[in-house]
């Protein structure tokens, strides 16, 4: 609902492609759109507008914001390992974690660092 209210500039209860793009890019120079904007237009048409009516309704917006097939915790855990695992052995040492402490204390996966203060057998 909040996303709809923020992006729906004409207040028709839907997010059309132009509103979707305007949330990310303002073409103030009037020139051609960058390639990434063109790709986002394609994303809107192919994946965001599921019923192909040219706009996103509340259900389509919910699918966009909270996709059912995306595991946020797993994605964040993989990101932390990828960025911190210096020797790329798919395991984090205490040193690798401490060397990248800022990533861990800024991550929702560690409860913003709070979980790192507890004793863990796996460490």
Under a CB-based contact definition with an 8 Å cutoff, are residues 107 and 117 in contact?
Answer: no
14-29 tens-digit pLDDT: 999 999 999 999 877 7
Q: Give the separation between CA 86 and CA 10, rounded to whole angstroms.
A: 49
CA angle 73, 2, 34 (to 5 degrees): 80
CATH 1.10.238 given to domain 3-106: yes
Ordered by start, the domain boundaries in the chain are: 3-106
Mean pLDDT over each residue of the chain, to the nearest integer: 86
What DSSP line would sit under 12-38, residue for residue?
SSSEEHHHHHHTT---TT-SPPPHHHH
Q: Between residues 14 and 78, which one has the greater pLDDT?
A: 14
64-74 tens-digit pLDDT: 988 887 777 78
């Amino acid at each position: 609902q909040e996303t709809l209210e923020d992006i729906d500039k004409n207040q028709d209860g839907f997010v059309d492609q132009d509103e979707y793009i305007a949330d990310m890019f303002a073409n103030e120079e009037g020139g051609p759109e960058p390639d990434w904007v063109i790709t986002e237009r394609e994303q809107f048409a192919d994946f965001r507008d599921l019923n192909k009516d040219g706009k996103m309704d509340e259900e389509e917006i919910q699918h966009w914001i909270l996709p059912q097939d995306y595991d946020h915790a797993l994605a964040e855990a993989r990101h932390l390992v990828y960025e911190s695992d210096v020797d790329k052995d798919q395991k984090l040492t205490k040193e690798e974690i401490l060397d990248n402490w800022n990533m861990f204390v800024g991550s929702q996966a560690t409860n913003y660092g709070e979980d790192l203060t507890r004793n863990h057998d796996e460490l």
